[in-house]
């Protein structure tokens, strides 16, 4: 239900509890089922992502649905190269742990979305980004997180693949040169679901408490 103009909205305790549950179940998914996702649902999720906040109301996000086998193959080749380079920089048990990690769902995920930031956009008139131009990219990240939560609410998983060569992906997808790659996303039904992050289960990195992340001045 759309909110009434000018009336605001108060969310009840049940909704707030469910929202907390949604946040807890938002996971970076790498293991997908191959079942297709209805195009109408993908468009609905992107419409929700499009409601995200942006600096100066610039809406700099650009969503590229990567559907061709050729484009997907080039992205996967980039991942394999970047992943091999990352592994080569490690040694010992850390390298062994890294090698066991599953770091993308590129093979099985039915929906691939490359998300770019249009750094040349004139929308917003430059408001709010004169001294912090990176807020354009931050705005795109807000849209990605909105998409992540919207997907989880529909029972879908989303995985962010960052082990890529941005220039290769940008060229492979034939987008304008002023667009900067922010994320390559895999979307689909998760093959398995866990409340704890996969990297924590695999012994790569535990989560730390909030107290370590708050500084007072």
pLDDT at res. 193: 82
Name the fold adopted by 28-202. NADH Oxidase (3.40.109)
For the chain, the domains span: 28-202
Token pair recorded at residue 15 = 């909704």
This prediction's pTM: 0.92
Quote the pLDDT of residue 131: 96
Buried b (16+ CB within 10 A) or exposed e, 29-64: bbbbeeeebeeeebeebbebbeebebbbebbbbbbb
How many Å apart are CA 32 and CA 48, to the nearest integer?
22
Q: Residue 62's beta-bridge partner residues?
A: 116
Residue 5, pLDDT score: 66
Q: pLDDT (tens digit, 0 to 9) for every residue of the chain, 217 residues total?
A: 556 666 778 899 999 999 999 998 899 999 999 999 999 999 999 999 999 999 999 999 999 999 999 999 999 999 999 999 999 999 999 999 999 999 999 999 999 999 999 999 999 999 999 999 999 999 999 999 999 999 999 999 999 999 999 999 999 999 998 999 999 999 999 998 887 888 888 888 988 899 899 999 9
What pLDDT does residue 102 have? 92
């Amino acid at each position: 239900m759309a909110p009434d103009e000018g009336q605001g909205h108060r969310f009840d305790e049940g909704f707030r509890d469910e929202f907390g549950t949604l946040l807890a179940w938002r996971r970076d998914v790498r293991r997908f089922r191959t079942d297709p996702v209805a195009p109408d649902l993908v468009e609905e999720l992107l419409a929700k992502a499009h409601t995200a906040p942006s600096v100066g109301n610039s809406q700099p996000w650009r969503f590229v649905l990567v559907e061709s086998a050729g484009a997907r193959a080039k992205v996967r080749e980039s991942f394999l190269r970047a992943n091999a380079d990352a592994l080569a920089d490690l040694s010992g048990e850390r390298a062994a742990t890294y090698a066991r990690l599953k770091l993308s769902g590129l093979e099985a995920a039915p929906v691939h979305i490359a998300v770019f930031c249009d750094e040349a956009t004139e929308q917003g008139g430059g408001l709010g980004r004169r001294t912090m131009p990176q807020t354009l990219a931050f705005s795109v990240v807000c849209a990605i997180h909105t998409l992540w939560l919207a997907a989880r609410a529909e029972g879908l998983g989303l995985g962010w693949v960052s082990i890529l060569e941005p220039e290769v992906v940008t060229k492979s997808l034939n987008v304008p040169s002023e667009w900067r790659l922010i994320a390559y996303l895999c979307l689909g039904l998760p093959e398995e679901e866990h409340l704890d992050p996969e990297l924590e289960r695999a012994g790569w990195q535990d989560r730390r408490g909030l107290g370590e992340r708050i500084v007072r001045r």
